[in-house]
Structure 1
Amino acid sequence: MVDAVVSVCLERLVKVLVKEGNVLLGYRDQFQKVQNDLQYMRSFFKDAERLKRKNEVLKCTLADLRELVYEVEDILADCQLLSNSSGKLLHGFSPIKVPAKYQMGKRLGEINVKITSIKDNITSFLGPLSQSLHGNVQEEGPPRWSSPIYDHTQVVGLEGDTRKLKDWLSQADNSGILSIGVVGMGGLGKTTVAQTVFNEKEMELHFEKRIWVSVSQKFTEDQIMRSILRNLGDANIGDDRGDLLKRINQYLLGKRFLIVLDDVWSEDTSWWLRIYEGLPKGSGSCIIVTTRIEKVARKMGVQEARIHRPKVLGEGHSWSLFCNVAFAENHGSCTSTELECVGKEIVSKCRGLPLAIKAVGGMMLCKPPYYHVWRRIADHFREELTDVDDNSVMASLQCSYDELPSYLKSCLLSLSIYPEDCEISKDQLVRWWIGEGFVPVRNGRLATEASEDCFSGLTNRCLVEVVEWDYNGKISTCKVHDMVRDQVIQIAKDESFSGLNAAHRRHLGLTTDIKEKEIVTSKKLRALISTTKSGEVNKIASSIGNKFCDFRYLRVLDLSKSIFEVPLSTLLGKISNLKHLTCFNLSNTHPLTQVPQTLEKLHNLQILDVSYCQSLKSLPPFVMTFENLVVLDVSHCGSLEFLPEGLEKLSNLQVLLGFKPARAEGEGSRISALRSLSQLRILELQLTRADEIDDNETDALTGLIEMQILTISCFNSFESDKLISKLEKVCPPLQLHELSLKFYPGKTSPKWLNPTSLPMLRYLSICGGNLAQLDKSFWGNDETCWKIKGLKLDSLSHLSVKWEMIQRVMPSLRTVHACWSPELISFPIEGVGFRGGVWKEDRNN
């Protein structure tokens, strides 16, 4: 983690020294010395990070260095602020600036002395330590989270397990409820066995209702029953326990149901006995319980004859699972004899535990396929697993962390602030990473694109698990396996990234349960993030809300999905104090009727999200002066009529969501303003009237060469014929990668929706509206066809299209999501790979 902190600091230092060198006038030598010392020490950080777990002196030394580097960053930020606030370079002798300059110089000088001392001593630690010390193994962590979703390509060697459970399920009679237990140690694959059975097509047909409940260590009886009801499509949250159980009974009465209770830990099973008594009996219904504790299964009514104990994977299956992950790009095939030899050595150390194998496989996937690289990691891995019996999972996860690039370590540790079983928004994560500078932006890459690559880096290493993804393969929400989460929390605590040490932590999750003391004592916070669970909101007291503006060095403030007792403009009246703020998320907050006026002074802002704020009627004009803005999200703001004038000034904007053009000059920003946004990568355009586009503005999108994703929404459109005429002339950029049309008012698709005009289109979504047929240009000709891989057709009541026509014109098609469109002809509704309205020809492709 020191490596990650230093990397971020050095990147900012280099940027300022190169591009804004004069801003450091008077301190350049001091900052240059910091840079030189830190760059020298970076070559030792990988060994130091690993070895510090085994030596307390080295651990304390690196902790001191981390704090010093954070302070250097703060000084650098203050220097830039002083320059920006005065509009001049940091020289001159105004009465206001002299004391500030003196204090900065003094602080920087003291820091340099300490960093030099650490540099002189750190190498003396590493020599003897690297040769004499052995790893101490951590205890096995808390239980895993789970969901019914699974990836069948990473299920190996469980055929016998699933067959046994399916045989038991088919034997259930009408006299009661059959209870089955899956018992074993963590990481053994208990959840995967249950997921595989739960998702079997024959189980879907056999049971009228299937319910998956993830039972975390901290749960209440109410939460369990509400989870069951949500599975049954009932989101009501106002009833007491008795009413909840009564409703569950009514939903399930007379039906054959399957309930999976995954990862039960508590030996006090009285909560389950009460729920069980309220369930309707008979009809061949079944319960599956997965747990690490056999006693729990027995107390929940599972008989010995119905307890299944999965075994570790054998050598062959272990290697197959590893190959499926590590050689995913080669369809799970290892073609190198040298890599196979060292790879099997690595796999053998995992002791057949699927979680450990997948974690290590994910790590190797991201490494060059060179023998010396794999040999080095194998040697490191063996050291980690010295004298380890039952903890190879945690050792493999620690190894995966050690091998992460420095910038991904910060990204991974950001997951430590989320509560157990929390579904995490990918957008929230990547925007946080951008705002705090975790994302390395080099060689002209866009920050939003680089941040998504960071997220993919974690999912590819099996450190983050997907909860929900769209037809285009993009992930919208994720979760952290509890074993990964436990390891991440421990590392984050040791590194003062987050944790209980309020005096030093830099990141804090905002929940309803947060105490005022936690806020008051966390003076060094860099990020305060809303971590509410899906379907819930944070209720934040005013006494806590009044403290939000007290964190001088806060970079990221995320108040999304929160309810406050008083208007936010009151609570955030002093937000101008947060001069380092780069990311401000007010999404789905209440009550928010206007953006705080004091936000005007925060010119460092890069991300502003006010989405889902239905009472927000307008944005203040000063938002259009935020030249550093990268993301502006005003989507789903029903009362917002248009954006203020000046959109063209936001030349660094990469993501613009919910843009409603003004209808007339002088009211707000017109669609022509988009021409100036040369870095725009993602655009969601909302059009409802023809006069929102002049004839001379129809080419506004054509020159946006960075644009990859475009959404055009015509919800609640007026004067449909005139709007259709204008839309026919609005041609998307030639290089567009993904297009979404929502509520298109025409009966025939626009003529520009064809493989010649959009030759690089890979994903197409058409949802809602009056579309009845696709224009003849859509079908191309003998020389042209679509290169589309993913197609979504949703809620198209009148669209009549034949499946064979789609197949002919889209030979590269791999995924189709089709639902609520009754006139589609011969579309597949069942068969290999088709579930829930989604046809997949070959998941591996």
Structure 2
Amino acid sequence: VHSTIQVASFSPSCLHSTMLARREPIDVFSAIQHRLQKIDTMVEEMQMDLRTLHRYGGDGDDDGHGDGEDEDDVLDLDHIELCSFMEQIKSAVQLVRAALQEKVMRMTTNTRGGEDDDGGGDEAFPSGSGHLKSVLESLDPQLKQCALCLAVFPSGKAIKRRLLIHWWIGEGIVRSAAAGKACFQDLLSRGLLQPAMLRPHCHTAHYCRVHPSVRDLLVAAARSFSYFAFDRDGEPTDECLPGTTRRVTLCRTRGSSRHGGGGGEYVTVYNLSQRYLEMDEAWLGEQRGMGTLQLGRWQTSPEHHVEMVRPDGVLGAAAAAACRNLRYLSLRGISLVESLPESIGDLRDLVVLDLRACHNLETLPASMASLGKLEYLDASECYLLDQMPHGVCKLHRLQVLKGFVVASAAGGKKIPPCRLADLAALPLLRKLSVSTGRQLPVAPDDELPRLHGFAALESLSVRWGAAAAHAGGGGRMDLSLLPRLAKLDLRRVPAEELQEVVHPARGGGLRKLCVRGGRLRAFGDDVTWDVVETLRVRFLERLDCEWRQLRSTFGKLRFVDKRRCPKLSSWRCDAQGIWRREEDDGGDRN
């Protein structure tokens, strides 16, 4: 505990200086609480790192193909001991915080004698909850609605920025992802959100948390606006009470959750913690004004498993016919969903379709071609998908496509698959992730070379199949044909030299390169990546490259992230595998 507190810059001398500067005891306690919250957040991030270590703890396969998702879980005694220490630290910090909070509440009651409290004892903001109230009241209507959506999430838990933005799009609070990002950043700058799980190579906050004191205020405000239904303890409930709220949260109860009977129309149905869903089909058929239907998990961890009873009925013709205003549909992480019905094509206003980690999903309907307003489609981690319907290339508003499956020629298939070259017809596509289906260990030789004509593509991820290391081939991408590409992520590379699968472009826009797993031994002797500034390499047991050679190949390198690459010991990375140019004597290449 002592060492953790030191890392968080909290020491007796720091406390002493705080007391001299503020002098008021209540302010001193609040400042301590603020520092303890930072320690608590830091410990949670440490625990997440340890869980990542657990997930990647296996030795992988003999060829080093592991990409961090398919390796066996292996626990050793040191890992168990570290996890135990983290839990002890977290428990100790929570005890101290609870004691201080009780002390602050008693002092506030005694000094104010029951008068209206402006929240001077708030643990996160020494100036009091009055400050928080003034911040919330100063928000414009759009930003206030964005903030009120945060009231349902548990305090301190990491929330993905993208999921918040999709919710806001679904309700019509924001009209685009760019507007959602601006609102998210505004909430961060005002202190209503805290950044979480920051990445060393990226200064953008992709995750956030809600502080307990902020959440208390948001719950009170959400109650007053009838935004959600809460119990007496401030926890969201799954009550459907028409006239009191237009949003329903699905919360963990006994057995499955079956909703209906309220008879009202709602703009949002959001699954917070229900793992077994049984939706009332007739009730869904009445939700003509619904914009957001989040049935899947919002949590990052796959441990939050969701199962749905009779998914075909819930997504059938009756519900699709009623929910024509639906803009956001998430089945993220739901098992037992083997296919989507053709009636999904009736959701003509759908903007976001999140199917990530639907592990039983085998096919997508041809009617998806009718989703003319779709901007975001995520079918990643749907490992049973063999192909994408050809109608995907008709979604001309599509900006993000994740989990596109490269399939073989139609052959005996009843529905011709969509090919990579077909996606060039999507003028707004800026983010694309590609993988090979179960029947193809690598992409056909004529697929990857066809990655041209993508005028707006900025981010590309290619994942070869599990058997790629034994198959080889797969064609070569020419980055000169992708002038706007800024980020390239390659997983399970089936070649021994990087230049065998991708040819860099001189003076292009590529700034970030990530290579994870596969057979890679070298970047290539005659190839230079003269514009790449960020390089991340992981699970490359065969890669052998000296530091001097790396700096020669990547002349403008500013950041390196190296993990599980045993032959790269000469690289000047710290204990966490990180190197930054400014930390290395001005970027000396020697």
Is the TM-score greater than 0.5?
A: yes
User: Residue in 2 aligned with 1:762?
Assistant: 511
Look up the match of 2:186.
Answer: 457
What is the SS of the residue equivalent to 1:290? Answer: helix
What TM-score results when the alignment is normalised by the length of structure 2? 0.74
Aligned in 2, Cα 1:809/1:250: closer, same or farther, shift over 3 Å? Answer: closer
The secondary structure found in structure 2 opposite 1:521 is coil
- What letter is aligned with 1:451? G
Q: Distance in 1 between matches of 2:538 and 2:423?
A: 29
Shift of 1:825: 3.3
Offset at residue 419 of structure 1 (A): 2.9
In structure 2, the residue matched to 1:324 is none
Cα distance in 1 between the residues matched to 2:552 and 2:119: 47
8 Å contact 2:537–2:565 — kept in the other structure? yes
1:1-400 to structure 2, matched below 5 A, reads 160-161=13-14, 187-190=30-33, 192-193=35-36, 195=38, 251-252=80-81, 259-261=88-90, 289-293=95-99, 355-356=124-125, 392-400=127-135
Tell me the equivalent position of 1:505.
Answer: 245
1:818 aligned partner: 562
Q: Kindly provide the CA deviation profile for residues 748-782 of structure 1, in whole angstroms up to 9, marking residues without a partner as x.
A: 012685764463222221111111101235435xx
Alignment partner, residue 569 of structure 1: 312
Residues 433-832 of structure 1 mapped to structure 2, 5 A cutoff: 433-440=168-175, 447-470=176-199, 471-500=201-230, 503-513=243-253, 520-521=261-262, 523-532=264-273, 538-542=274-278, 547-561=283-297, 563-564=306-307, 566-573=309-316, 574-576=318-320, 577-665=322-410, 667-687=416-436, 689=440, 692-693=443-444, 695=446, 700-718=450-468, 723-724=473-474, 726-729=475-478, 733-750=482-499, 756-757=505-506, 759-780=508-529, 785-788=530-533, 790-807=534-551, 813-830=557-574
Match of 2:162 among 427, 444, 450: 427
Whether the 8 Å contact between 2:572 and 2:579 is mirrored in structure 1 is yes
> Distance in 2 between the 1:530 and 1:595 partners?
19
- The one-letter code sitting in structure 2 at the alignment partner of 1:487 is L
Q: Per-residue displacement from partner, 1:603-634 (whole Å, max 9, x unpaired)?
A: 11111111111111100110122111111111
Q: What residue identity is the alignment partner of 2:189?
A: N
Aligned to 1:172: none
Higher deviation after alignment, 620-629 or 496-505: 496-505
When Rg is computed on C-alpha atoms for both structures, the one with the higher figure is: 1
Alpha-carbon deviation of 1:233? Answer: 5.5
Residue type of the alignment partner of 2:13? G
- Does structure 1 retain, via aligned residues, the 8 Å contact 2:258–2:279? no
**Counterpart amino acid of 1:550?**
E
- The code of the aligned residue for 2:217 comes to Q
Q: What amino acid is aligned across from residue 545 of structure 2 in structure 1? A: V
AA at the equivalent of 2:430: R
Higher helix share: 1
Cα distance between partner residues in 2 of 1:560 and 1:710: 26
Distance 1:352 1:489, change over 3 A: closer
Cα distance, 1:566–1:156 mapped onto 2, change above 3 Å? closer
Q: Relative to structure 1, is the Cα distance of residues 522 and 682 closer, same or farther in structure 2, using a 3 angstrom cutoff?
A: farther
Instruction: Write the distance in 2 (CA, Å) between the matches of 1:195 and 1:793.
Output: 30
Using a 3 Å threshold, how does the CA distance of structure 1 residues 816 and 453 change in structure 2: closer, same or farther?
farther
Shift of the alpha carbon at 1:799? 0.9
Alpha carbons of structure 1 residues 791 and 402: separation in structure 2 relative to 1, 3 Å: farther
Are residues 824 and 608 of structure 1, via their aligned partners in 2, closer, same or farther at CA, if it must alter by over 3 Å?
Answer: same
Give the drift of 1:184: 8.3
Provide the C-alpha distance between the structure 2 equivalents of 1:430 and 1:655, rounded to a whole number of angstroms.
14
CA distance, structure 2, for counterparts of residue 771 and residue 669 of structure 1: 29
Q: 1:406 to 1:686 in 2, by over 3 A?
A: same
Shift, 1:540, TM fit: 3.3
In structure 1, stretches of 5+ residues that fail to align are: 1-147, 165-182, 200-210, 215-225, 235-246, 263-285, 298-348, 357-389, 441-446, 533-537
Determine the structure 2 residue equivalent to 1:125.
none
Shift of 1:530: 1.9
Q: Tell whether the 8 Å contact from 1:711 to 1:741 is kept in structure 2 after alignment.
A: yes
Q: Distance in 2 between matches of 1:786 and 1:798?
A: 25
Unaligned stretches of 5+ in structure 2? 18-25, 56-75, 104-117, 231-240, 298-304
Q: Contact 1:527 / 1:556 at 8 angstroms: preserved in 2?
A: yes
Secondary structure of the residue aligned to 2:90 is: strand
* Structure 2 residue matching 1:525: 3-state secondary structure: coil
Contact 1:739-1:763 at 8 Å conserved across structures? yes
The residue matched to 2:540 in structure 1 has which SS?
A: coil
Deviation at 1:518, TM superposition (A): 7.6
Question: Percent identity among equivalent residues?
Answer: 21
Contact kept in structure 2, 1:671 and 1:693, CA below 8 Å: no
Deviation at 1:198, TM superposition (A): 10
Q: Which residue type is aligned with residue 620 of structure 1? A: P
Aligned to 2:64: none
Deviation at 1:517, TM superposition (A): 9.5
CA pair 758-510 structure 1, distance change in 2 beyond 3 A: farther
- Match of residue 107 from structure 2: none
> Given the superposition, is the C-alpha separation of residues 658 and 774 from structure 1 closer, same or farther in structure 2, using an over 3 Å criterion?
same
Q: Secondary structure at the match of 1:550?
A: coil
Looking at structure 1, the residues matched to 276 and 558 of structure 2 have their Cα atoms a distance apart, in angstroms, of 46
Deviations 1:84-134 (A, max 9, x none): xxxxxxxxxxxxxxxxxxxxxxxxxxxxxxxxxxxxxxxxxxxxxxxxxxx
Distance 2:52 2:498 in 1: 37
**What is the CA distance between 1:702 and its match in structure 2?**
2.8
Q: What letter is aligned with 2:385? A: L
8 Å CA contact retained: 1:212, 1:231:
no
CA offset digits 1:717-742 (Å, max 9, x no partner): 55966634x12457661221211111
**In 2, are the aligned partners of 1:736 and 1:758 still within 8 Å (CA)?**
no
Cα distance 1:828–1:425, how it changes in 2: closer, same or farther (>3 A)? same
Residue identity in the other structure for 1:465: Q
Aligned residues: 512
> SS of the residue aligned with 1:627?
coil
Q: Residues 673-692 of structure 1, C-alpha deviation per residue, up to 9 Å, x if partnerless? A: 11111101110011364995
Shift of 1:430: 1.6
CA distance in 1, matches of 2:78, 2:452: 58
**Alpha-carbon contact 1:503-1:524 (below 8 Å) kept:** no
Match of 1:60 in 2: none
In structure 2, the CA distance between the partners of 1:249 and 1:734, relative to structure 1 (3 Å rule), is closer
Alpha-carbon distance between aligned partners in 2 of 1:542 and 1:435, rounded to the nearest angstrom? 22
Note closer, same or farther for the CA distance 1:553–1:741 as it changes in structure 2 (3 Å cut). same
CA distance in 1, matches of 2:338, 2:561: 37
Q: Residues 192-243 of structure 1: CA distance to partner in whole angstroms, max 9, x if unpaired?
A: 25756997xxxxxxxxxxx7699xxxxxxxxxxx99x979969xxxxxxxxx
CA distance in 1 between counterparts of 2:391 and 2:571 reads: 47
8 Å CA contact 2:468, 2:494 repeated in 1: no
More moved, 727-736 vs 759-768: 727-736
Counterpart AA for 1:431: H
Give the conservation status (yes or no) of the 8 Å contact 2:269–2:293.
yes
Cα root mean square deviation, aligned: 4.4
